[in-house]
Amino acid sequence: MSEQPDTTHFGYRDVPVAEKQKLVGAVFTSVARNYDLMNDLMSFGVHRLWKRHFIAVSGIRRGDRVLDLAGGTGDIAALLKPVVGEAGEIVVGDINAAMLDVGRDRLTDRGLVSGLRWAQLNAEALPFPDNSFDAVTMAFGLRNVTDKDRALAEIHRVLKPGGRVLVLEFSRVRNAALGKLYDFHSFQVLPRLGRVFAHDADSYQYLAESIRKHPDQETLKGMLEHAGFGHVEVRNLTQGIVAIHRGYKF
């Protein structure tokens, strides 16, 4: 067994492994109230369409029990609720209390209460028994996890046989011209917008950097397979700005 590294990346900085969780937590506590604004600035508002498509092609069915990881503000849970129906259940898990507070308040205001549970948890050590869920979703959260391999192994553990994992995440742009425009937006425009609209340029700078440090489509596919998932599929959206990875537990 290989030794675990002493450092990991926090954006483009190398930091002690033990500190990354705290640093990421500070970012999301800072941006929690402006989370939708953050995603609108990062994606020109297209994240709303990506999320709808993510659920539309998920294969999740009425009556399923779903764990939505890094789902604090409730965007994915709100889309899942009519899919799983009254017979289903959605557990929204997030490591950040501020994000969970925003999501719980938002969905409660919309009258979405029954069939929803909220849990503060670490994706690397899920507090659920083996074979607990029909599906696990994770939208724009995996790149912030310190030990992604451990998190994927935990997702595999808590899925029922035949269950599926679905990951929506920023990925590697496939078009060179679009990639240059995207880099300019991410590193020149986004932090300035963050400073103006959210009074927090540093968090937006980290978020842009975290996208570039996240594994590309093929690397993440291999990580899912290494965690034990089969029939892993990759679907690029918007020329690979984001990608949907789907795998099954057999």
- Residue 65 domain-assigned? yes
C-alpha 149: how far from chain center:
14
What pLDDT does 233 receive? 98
The predicted-structure confidence for 170-226, as pLDDT tens digits, reads as follows 999 988 888 888 888 777 887 787 777 767 777 778 777 888 889 999 999 999 999
Provide the number of structural domains found in the chain: 1
What mean pLDDT comes out for the span 86-108?
95
Q: Tell me which residue range forms the domain holding 138.
A: 7-37+44-172+215-248
Give the pLDDT band (50/70/90) at residue 130: very high
- Residue 201 domain-assigned? no
C-alpha 82: how far from chain center:
21
**pLDDT over 70, % of the chain:** 96
Q: Which CATH number characterizes residue 116's domain?
A: 3.40.50.150
107 contacts: CB under 8 Å, gap ≥ 6? 74, 77, 78, 113, 116
- Residue 241 domain-assigned? yes
N-term to C-term CA, the chain: 25
pTM of the predicted protein model: 0.88
Give the pLDDT band (50/70/90) at residue 5: low
- Residue 16 domain-assigned? yes
- Residue 239 domain-assigned? yes
The predicted-structure confidence for 18-34, as pLDDT tens digits, reads as follows 777 777 777 777 777 77
- Residue 154 domain-assigned? yes
Pairing of strands 7-10, 242-248: unpaired
- Residue 29 domain-assigned? yes
3-40 as b/e: b if 16+ CB within 10 A: eeeeebebbeeeeeeeebbebbbebbebbbebbeebbb
What pLDDT does 179 receive? 83
- Residue 209 domain-assigned? no
